Structure 1
Amino acid sequence: MTDILIAVLSTIGALAILFASIGIIRMPDFYLRLSVTVKAATLGVGLFLICAAIIFPDVSVTTKAVAIVFFLVLTAPVAAHMIARTAYHTGIPTWKDTVMDEFEKEPKQEEQEK
């Protein structure tokens, strides 16, 4: 039963990472690429770490894996948001079919420096 669970989780994790790598190629602009990559890669790495915790039932390995998953889920979206916000304020263009731009009202960095 454990082998089946590990096989399912690692397959889903590998597929998530595959989708992240496909997203880098398929998405039209930096912001969508960043979004897809962070979401899918965080899921994939998290599932692999859960598999490692199941394979090695030692308390220290499980604790470390759970701590890494916790901090990964906590920090990856925040880091991606900060990277995207900095990219926007430095002038990286959005996709031509972008429907909503919530930062549009904020002055860009070059306008603030004047």
Structure 2
Amino acid sequence: MIDFGGWDMPVSYPAGTIKEHKAVRESAGLFDVSHMGEAWLRGPRATEAVQRLTTNDVGGAAAGKAVYTLLCRPDGGIVDDCIFYKRSATEYFVILNASNIAKDLAWMREQVGGMVDLE
């Protein structure tokens, strides 16, 4: 086990990582995401804000769907990867990487803080 963002995370498995990987790919797997960051973007301009932040068409997703995407700077550089869930055109939920929660939220606030409530 190692410390990852204040959480204990496994880095190896008794049967080996390849066997563990194959079991997940061929059967099923469960991944605990308790360590990851969570935030809501809400407001009448939420879709506009999400479209400004990400590389994929998160706003075009159906309500209740999730989109794996990248947070990108205006120059195209990658800030981080994340998963956005569209609840409605005015409400989105985002899952952030544990080691980058504060950095990602600060960057998102810089980009669209005046457009949406970000909590």
User: Normalised by the size of structure 2, how large is the TM-score?
Assistant: 0.24
> TM-score, normalised on structure 1?
0.24
Q: Which structure's CA Rg is the greater one?
A: 1
Higher relative contact order (CA 8 A, sep 6+): 2
